[in-house]
Amino acid sequence: MSTRLTKQGRLIDRSKKISFTFNGTTMQGYAGDTLASALLANDQMMMGRSFKYHRPRGVVASGAEEPNALVGLGQGNRFEPNQRATTTELFNGLTSVSQNHWPNLDFDIGAVNTALARFLPAGFYYKTFIHPKPFWKHIYEPFIRQSAGLGKAPDKDSRDADTYEHFYAFTDVLVIGGGVAGLQAARAAAQSGAKVMLIEQSAHWGGRAPVDGGTVDGQPVDKFVEQLVSELETMKNVTLRNRCMGAGVYDHGYALGYERLTDHNPGMQGPRHRLWRIRAKQIVTATGAIERPLSFAGNDVPGVMLASAMRDYLVNWGVVPGERVIIATNNDDAYRSAILLKQAGVDVLRVVDARATAGPLAEEARQLGIRVDPGKAIAKVKGGKRVKSVQLCNQDGIGGAREEVEADAVAMSGGWSPVVHLWSHCGGKLIWDEAQAHFRPDPTRPPLGADGEGFVIAAGSANGPLALGDILADADAAGKAAAKAAGHKPKRAKAPVGEASSEAPMEPVWLMPANADIQLRGKAWLDFQNDVKVSDVQLAAREGYESVEHTKRYTTLGMATDQGKLSNINGLAILANALDAEIPQVGTTTFRPPYTPISMGAIGGEARGEVFQPIRQTPMHDWHDKHGADWEPVGHWRRTYAYVRPGESVHDAVNREVKNTRDNLGLLDASTLGKLIVKGPDAGRFLDMMYTNMMSTLKVGKCRYGLMCSENGFLIDDGVVARIDEDTWLCHTTTGGAERTHGHMEEWLQTEWWDWKVYVANVTEQYAQVAVVGPNARKVLEKLGGMDVSKEALPFMEWRDGKIGDFDCRAYRISFSGELSYEIAVPASQGQAFWDALLEAGQEFGVMPYGTECLHILRAEKGFIMIGDETDGTVIPQDLGLHWALSKKKEDYLGKRAHDRSHMTDPDRWKLVGLETVDGSVLPDGAYAVGEGVNANGQRNMIGRVTSTYYSANLGRGIAMGLIKHGPDRMGEIVEFPGTDDKIYKAKIVDPIFYDKDGEKQNV
């Protein structure tokens, strides 16, 4: 029986009772409990089911390494699967459910897998479910997938009720881990004056030390911790954060801290998690060590736990998981658990010590009346949902001659492994420590920082030492070394002197008993969550999956949610043994961030909902929004696709806008078009390189349409360029092209032609720009009054500065629609007022705003190309019949050389033409034209494709543009476009100018 003692429990406050539920049952705990300690206090030994065999699982550890006690926590929009009970602080109203079973935890259909375990060894699925083939899709795989997963998925429509944020922090020294080593390292570093940040994953400082005991400078270690924390709190150069886990270490001194702000009290205001993005000159990993399980048959039965965990539950929370306990060990540390349990009144039946001789702690245990059996082992633990009895045998043997002892809990200790994860994340290497039988950081091969020097130092038991005195000395040295490496001068203060009982050496024990037979090996668990046993690793080795990565992947060892914190070293040792190799030869798998799982919410940070991504808005954005704008994202901009009136479809709206603009007057918010000022004595020469056309010869006051190609020859942008004065040009770019084109210009100016005297400035957002389009365009401007916008005063492709109404403006007489058209730029702060003025003055002329789709149709009616429609990154100006825009006079411009390559001059390139369906219908977007036959790969031969296709309300029929092989030479021919609707669309090749071929409308 697992129970709460009436005394003890240094972390709980017995005056504060807390009520919570587990699988619907209400239980009681105390403030300071973890969910795991509270469940144990309520005799809830079984907390879940394993992944593969659905075996009963109880808590095995007391901290972040826990593989078994995972629960679904919370409800609805706060439900979270796979939460470790051992690191979940208890709060009032906590609801938890166990995982991976049906219909319930006690009775689980899936547990039939346990009975079949023998038929489901490692990798069995690679060998089975192969025949008959259709069974895989319809029976086998659905079955495998249904049994997959641990925790329940959150509801499909759930929306996380919490918020998250990031924070950037900069420090000289980051110390990860707030145990005695981390605290001392922080102090040693801080005393140098260095800026120090110390983060600790739990809510408590001091780590294991207060449980393990010992003295520091003559006083009990818990007092030492208390004083040290107070001292650090007063130091101005020290930042302390608990509930903040060091999640990962990355290049150039970058580390992630995962701070859980409200998990222990979900009602609190503020974000739930904060992800710290820390830049440290030096990082000290004082991450402690993790006890290893022992591999014996039945080591997975609920009630079998790590000896240190049992000690933690007793000392920290006043909980003992059993009344009759057997302890198995290969080292002295487990005796501390034996002694404390005995002192707490637990019947410690036996310590089976695989070693022939034990140290002074064993003697202390014996004196308390505990029976110590050297050279002994656990052959097998019996029991289903909790420990019933334990069979003991000699360690040196195959597990015969067993003695059976009734017991209800087993503590095991296979020695300790430093937590090397954070050391390893960024390339720190490990060495094998023969004496402690563990991997520890190799100080000669640390992770390298930006300067090529090591930037991580391991401290305390994370670095190998396990005795309190050694830990403190190591941590002190690490703190000083980190401060020094960060450019500070450490103080010569003496390290505190820690003392604890001396210990005899441990002896590696990878299997219990040493030569356990196959039946026992098949029940000796390595990975408790994924159900990987000793026999599985041996099978992998036998079948040739010899690399440690092969074994891991073949057996799934260490791939569970604990990422092998308990299983890795034990599994490696078994593999090494099976291969007859040394452990360091076999090596480890790669440690990858995060140390323990971190929430997706925290990773995303504040970027959710309305600040998920910026939405760029023009000065008239709100007006559009209020007037039926159907929005279209264009880059980060929002543009109006069409202004939909009540009762209209989007399609109706587009047709209305198209007709009205041709017949009366349309207004387009063109503010998103990029505007770049290019100025300087070399500006003309520079623009001649940027554009395929000649820009240096453009006269002041005039405009010219320009094309830009990449150096690789492909069209990248286009727009109208205006010459402002002798050495100043204004270049329009496409929407969303301003930043890219500005960057493109700066790149060439800064990295190739840096001696050219040219300055570029991006003034896109300085202006609200409105296209005033249609037969009544001039009338509305004249009504507003101001500058002369007559044909004579402002001819086509010219610009003037002046006033329209009250507004200072620059008016460009340019047209992307073929209509009489002005683009008027006013200061952005007056954009809305100008828009309002145009609408008001335009009433009598039939004014309507129009959106991007109307813009597209108007330009297509005129055969104007659109970057992104006619071009897709593979199209060159020659394909589009834009030879006239490729200056023959210039020796050089970006893209010119590229156009000379054989594929670019190939006469078979597809060329731009107009397309008219035979029946007037609209060609499907993206359709391909087919030729005869198939190619060598059996694909239909294609001879072209549709690049733009619309219904033209003005022409009352479908119009399209496309690229067709030899297209311009095939005018009048009919080509076929198979649709995805099984129809064949027939279209005639025509001139791409469908409307007002002579351009009479724009030239008025």
C-alpha to C-alpha distances, 415 to 309, 410, 768, 937, nearest whole angstrom: 13, 16, 72, 62
Contact residue for other proteins among 936, 956, 998, 1000 (CB under 8 A): 936
Among 7, 24, 133, 218, interactor with other proteins by CB under 8 A: 133
Question: Residue 282 CB: number of other CB atoms within 10 A?
Answer: 29
Count the neighbouring beta carbons within 10 Å of the beta carbon of residue 535.
22
Identified binder of other proteins from the candidate list 58, 469, 479, 713, rule CB under 8 A = 713
According to the binding rule CB under 8 A, does residue 157 interact with other proteins?
yes
Q: How far is the CB of 742 from other proteins (least distance, A)?
A: 9
Contact between 579 and other proteins (CB under 8 A)? Answer: no
If one asks whether residue 549 binds other proteins (CB under 8 A), the answer comes out as yes
Q: Does 193 bind other proteins (CB under 8 A)?
A: no
In angstroms, give the least distance from the CB of 737 to other proteins.
Answer: 13
Which of 106, 363, 612, 984 touches other proteins by CB under 8 A? 612
Window of 8-16, 297-305, 321-329, 927-935 that interacts with other proteins by CB under 8 A: 927-935
Report the site for other proteins in 977-996 (rule: CB under 8 A).
Answer: 977-980
Where in 840-859 is the site for other proteins (CB under 8 A)? none
Q: Closest separation between CB of residue 649 and other proteins, Å?
A: 16
Q: Which CB atom, from 271 or from 958, has the smaller least distance to other proteins?
A: 271
> Closest distance between other proteins and the C-beta of residue 969, in Å?
22
For other proteins, which is the closer residue by CB, 240 or 472?
A: 240
Instruction: State in angstroms the smallest separation of the CB of 481 from other proteins.
Output: 20
As measured in angstroms, the least distance from the Cβ of 899 to other proteins is 8
* DSSP assignment of 786-835: BS--STTTS-TTBEEEEEETTEEEEEE---SSSSSEEEEEEEGGGHHHHH
For other proteins, which residue of 93, 149, 360, 999 counts as binding (CB under 8 A)? 149
Does 103 engage in binding with other proteins (CB under 8 A)? no
Rule CB under 8 A: say whether 250 interacts with other proteins: yes
Q: How many CB atoms lie within 10 A of CB 336?
A: 23
Asked if 798 interacts with other proteins (CB under 8 A), we say: no
Q: Which of 26, 590, 649, 790 binds other proteins (CB under 8 A)?
A: 590
Report if residue 785 touches other proteins, rule: CB under 8 A: no
Choosing from 139, 368, 761, 984, the residue that interacts with other proteins (CB under 8 A) is: 761
Residue 595: both structure tokens together: 């140390």
The answer to whether 832 contacts other proteins (rule: CB under 8 A) is yes
Both tokens assigned to 563? 């990422």
Choose, by CB under 8 A, the member of 374, 427, 701, 881 that binds other proteins: 427
For other proteins, the closer CB: 67 or 460:
67
Residue 699 or 903 having the CB closest to other proteins: 903
Asked whether position 155 contacts other proteins by CB under 8 A, the answer is yes
At which residue do the structure tokens 């709190």 appear?
233
Q: Cα(854)–Cα(630) distance, rounded to whole angstroms?
A: 12
Total Cβ atoms within 10 A of residue 159: 10
User: What 3-state DSSP class applies to 477?
Assistant: helix
CB of 497 to other proteins, least distance (A): 31
Q: Does 765 bind other proteins (CB under 8 A)?
A: yes
Interaction residues for other proteins, span 740-759 (CB under 8 A): 743, 746-747, 750-752, 754, 757, 759
List the interface residues with other proteins, window 164-183 (CB under 8 A).
Answer: 165-170
| 535 is an interface residue for other proteins by CB under 8 A | yes
Give the distance, in angstroms, between the CA of residue 162 and the centroid of all CA atoms in the same chain: 18
Instruction: Give the one residue of 8, 337, 563, 769 binding other proteins; rule: CB under 8 A.
Output: 563
Q: Which of 28, 389, 599, 878 binds other proteins (CB under 8 A)?
A: 599
Asked if residues 555 and 122 have their Cβ atoms less than 8 Å apart, the reply is yes
Binding track, positions 513-532, relative to other proteins; x by CB under 8 A: -----xx--x----------
Select from 363, 403, 406, 711 the one that contacts other proteins (CB under 8 A): 711
Q: Shortest gap between Cβ of 428 and other proteins (angstroms)?
A: 12
Instruction: Report the distance separating Cα 56 and Cα 114, nearest Å.
Output: 10
Beta strand 498-499 with 215-216 is antiparallel
Q: Which of residues 282-321 bind other proteins (CB under 8 A)?
A: none
544 Cα distance to chain centroid: 35
- Give dist(CA 634, CA 786) in Å, integer: 34
CA–CA dist 689, 709 (Å, integer) = 10
The answer to whether the beta carbons of residues 293 and 376 sit under 8 Å apart is no
**Minimum Å distance from CB 332 to other proteins?**
35
The C-alpha atoms of residue 147 and residue 180 are separated, in whole angstroms, by: 43
Count residues near other proteins (CB under 8 A): 183
Cβ neighbour number for residue 757 with a 10 Å cutoff? 14
User: Tokens representing 517?
Assistant: 């037979």
Element (H, E) at 409: strand 409-413
Kindly write out the interface string for residues 861-890 of this chain, putting x where it contacts other proteins by CB under 8 A and - elsewhere: -------xx--xxx----------------
Looking at residues 254 to 283 of the shown chain, list those that interact with other proteins (rule: CB under 8 A).
Answer: 254, 256, 268-271, 274, 277, 279
Contact 255, 281 (CB under 8 A): no
Q: Which two tokens stand for residue 219?
A: 């006083």
Contacting other proteins within 719-738 (CB under 8 A): none
Is 49 in a helix, a strand, or coil? strand
Distance CA 199, CA 183 (A): 10
> Ramachandran region of residue 814, left (φ > 0), alpha (ψ -120 to 50) or beta?
beta
- Using the rule CB under 8 A, is 112 a contact of other proteins? no
What are the helix (H) ranges across 155-257? 180-190, 209-212, 221-234
Residues 6+ apart with CB under 8 A from 950: 856, 857, 860, 922, 958, 959, 960
Cα–Cα distance measured from residue 459 to residue 443, given in angstroms and rounded to the nearest whole number: 11
Angle of helix 180-190 relative to helix 468-485, nearest 10 degrees, comes to: 40
> Smaller CB distance to other proteins: residue 218 or 907?
907
Least distance CB 699 / other proteins (angstroms)? 21
Q: Indicate whether 51 belongs to the interface with other proteins (CB under 8 A).
A: yes
Interface pick for other proteins out of 109, 112, 611, 984 (rule CB under 8 A): 611
Distance of CA 819 to CAs 201, 327, 951, Å? 67, 92, 19
Q: Is 908 in the site for other proteins (CB under 8 A)?
A: no
Residue 283 token pair: 């990082």
* Half-sphere CA count of 652, side-chain side, radius 13 A: 7
Q: Which stretch binds other proteins (CB under 8 A): 127-135, 335-343, 480-488, 653-661?
A: 127-135
Q: Please, what is the minimum distance in Å from the beta carbon of residue 282 to other proteins? A: 14
By beta-carbon proximity to other proteins, the closer residue of 236 and 492 is 236
Distance CA(48)–CA(54), nearest Å, equals: 9
Q: Which of 802, 827, 846, 881 binds other proteins (CB under 8 A)?
A: 827
Structure tokens at 814: 């340019």
Residues in 674-693 that interact with other proteins by CB under 8 A: 677, 679-681
